[in-house]
Chains A and B, each alone.
Chain A
Amino acid sequence: MTRFIKLFNLSRLYSRRFIFVIAGLVIIAALPLIIGSEYVISEVLAPMLIFAIYASSWNLLAFSGQGSLGHAAFLGIGGFTSALLAIKLGVPPLLGLFLGGLFSAAIGFLIGLTCVRLKAWFLGMVTFGFSVISLTLVSQFDSVIGGIMGFRTPLIVPRGVLFYYFTFAVAAASIFIIYLIMKSKLGLAFKAIRENELEAKMTGINTARYRLVAFILSTFFAGLAGGLYAQYIRYIDVSIFSPHFSFLPLMMAVIGGLGTLSGPLIGSAIIVSIDAYLPRIDHLLQGLLGSLFPAVSNVGPPIRMMLLGIILLVVVIFAPKGIYSVIDKAYAHLLNKRAAGKQ
């Protein structure tokens, strides 16, 4: 036990930040009681939590200095595995969810073996390629999988508040584990590799092995998020492998704040809110701009997608550490002001 505490450096948990985290958890848990709208709980808050896991899994990979442009492959593998296990083999869906994550991590191990030695953009290309290959294979074996038409997934818990608390539990556990990893010796090694791979190597870190470990851990959580996502939309088909799903966790992590624990959560909240609320002004946009762009029947979706691209560009260029750093700075500024006022 003491070894465990030393390994994960648990003593660091009792910091002021930890109190913030606990407060945040309580607020997130109490949200359904405050909001009360069924739509907001199951269509906005639940996907936010699912994408928070997914974006955190991507963030963990980036934490070790790697980047994937094909994480949708692991989201899809997790989703399909958990759904197929439940349908074809009668595995309990809850166990299936976990097994989906494990299977995704196993595939992640195989992919990682070949590509953890690659530099940033090569790794990006190979992982992107792998997501396209996964899509091709799942479509090719359609007679067994049935992914082109898609199918309903057996549910663990009914939709609504119960599903919200279920995703909340899984998300809280996942993100807590990711937090422990990031704070542990393992996380320190990841950080050393990210900062300077050569120096990390010189201090005796087996960089290839640690990068592989990061890859496996990341793909496990991506697979878990995939299983949850299939639970959320209660349906799964091959569109889960599309590049958009590969780029989403990246955008969330980068927009929120790469390498920080809360970054992916902020990013997930922003992007899921855009998806959930901006369609409401579609008719307004159509009325304003519809005559300018006669080629599309509804200008809303492409404008929303463009907005995502623009937000990503603006954040990368003007706030490379993400929105988290902006909030952090504003908070520090506020504290300074208060301290100055007291003097």
Chain B
Amino acid sequence: MITPSGLAETLLWGVANGCIYILLATGLSIIFGVMKLVNFAHGQLLMIGAYLAFTTSVILGVNSYLAILVAMVGVAIIGVAVERLTFRKVLGTEKLNEIFVSLGLIYIFENAAVLLWGNKSAQIPSSINGILSLAGISISYDRLAAIGIVVVILLSIVFLMKRTKIGLAMQATSQKSDAAKLMGINIEKVYVFTFALGAALAGAAGALYGIIFPFSPTLGALPTIKAFAIIILGGLGSIPGAVIGGLLYGIAETTAGYLLGGIWPDAIAFVLLIAVLIIKPTGLFGGKGE
């Protein structure tokens, strides 16, 4: 049955899901914008973030929303290690090498997670259970909290990019890394910081995902593709594009689930991805194609 309130609820849920994807896509987009690097293992960082938050809140008994911070810091540290040990070695060589490195990382992360946490599905116990019902629309507090947290994180990112020295250095590097180097910017430091920032966003997305949905070590692949669909939809390297793309995507996904049901919500990612690539390869807000 399709009802107006059901549809409104679906839209709201879509916005909440979209927020998680926005975090993931923004991280991917920042890394791509500054480093011109495509990290196919980004979804695995989300998965690790979810498990770190899970362990923190279940074993240490920390509030699940504080565990988000732990996940962000933890995944950022992993991000630094990944950048220094792997991606830095292939940056500037053939583009395909980055894809190969990402694939190697996917195998390592997924199976490390299987070793550490087992192959079962897990979910982070939320600290604020309950459902808000208003005018026939109901949404869990967790989803509302996710929307709020994502807004706060995104505002901090905008502040970081526009008002801080490292943010300006990132922008300069993203526009022309050689010129930035000549201006005395330490490109390598910018790269490490950028990758860590992108990873931290994936970690936060993972913790939020783990509070709302159950997850397992093989979670990573689909979110990566969704994040890609979003940044391609919104235009590569554009943060506003990622936000609008993420919201559109989240809504499209839940609506497809509501109207068509079954397996369609996941298939929609690819249909969108392929459609955008054929019709407008630069994305809705993208300037120049890459």
- Which A residues lie at the B interface, using CB under 8 A? 62, 67, 69, 114-115, 118-122, 124-126, 128-130, 132-133, 136, 139-140, 243, 247, 250-251, 254, 258, 293, 295-296, 299, 302-303, 305-306, 308-313, 316-317, 320
Contact = CB atoms under 8 A, between A and B. Distances in A.
11 contacts: A121-B40, A122-B281, A296-B118, A306-B108, A309-B105, A309-B108, A312-B103, A313-B101, A316-B104, A317-B86, A320-B94
B160 interface: no
Interface in B94-120: 94-101, 103-108, 110-112, 114-119
Contacts of B228: 125
B277 interface: yes
A258 B274 CA distance: 27
B19 to A, nearest CB: 22
Max count, chain B CB within 10 A of own CB: residue among A243, A251, A306, A313: A313
B99 to A, nearest CB: 6
Contact of A302 (B90, B100, B115, B273): B115
Contacts of B86: 313, 317
Contacts of B105: 309, 313
Contact of A254 (B100, B110, B221, B281): B100
A140 B94 CA distance: 39
A10 to B, nearest CB: 31
B157 interface: no
B129 interface: no
A7 B160 CA distance: 60
A315 to B, nearest CB: 8
Nearest to A293: B115
Contact of A122 (B115, B271, B277): B277
B117 to A, nearest CB: 5
A310 B104 CA distance: 6
Given A124-B99, A125-B273, A316-B97, A139 B263 contact: yes
B115 A303 contact: yes
Given A302-B111, A306-B111, A317-B86, A121 B99 contact: yes
A306 B267 contact: no
B16 interface: no
Given A296-B119, A306-B112, A309-B111, A130 B103 contact: no
Interface string B194-218: 0000000000000000000000000
A312 B112 CA distance: 16
A310 B89 CA distance: 15
Contacts of B116: 293, 295
B110 A313 contact: no
B269 interface: yes
A244 B104 CA distance: 12
B100 A309 contact: no
B225 interface: yes
A139 B266 CA distance: 14
A309 B232 CA distance: 27
Given A114-B278, A320-B94, 13 more contacts: A114-B274, A118-B277, A120-B96, A121-B40, A122-B281, A126-B270, A129-B269, A133-B271, A243-B221, A247-B103, A293-B116, A306-B115, A309-B105
B111 A305 contact: yes
A122 B38 CA distance: 10
B133 interface: no
A122 B267 contact: no
Contacts of B3: none
Given A295-B116, A313-B86, A130 B104 contact: no
B128 to A, nearest CB: 28
A313 B117 CA distance: 24
A132 B267 contact: yes
A85 B115 CA distance: 41
A184 to B, nearest CB: 23
A209 to B, nearest CB: 18
Contact of B107 (A129, A140, A299, A309): A309
Nearest to B86: A313
Max count, chain B CB within 10 A of own CB: residue among A62, A130, A295, A311: A295
B32 to A, nearest CB: 9
Nearest to B39: A121
Given A122-B277, A128-B225, A136-B267, A316 B38 contact: no
Nearest to A317: B89
Contact of B277 (A126, A243, A296, A308): A126
A4 B111 CA distance: 50
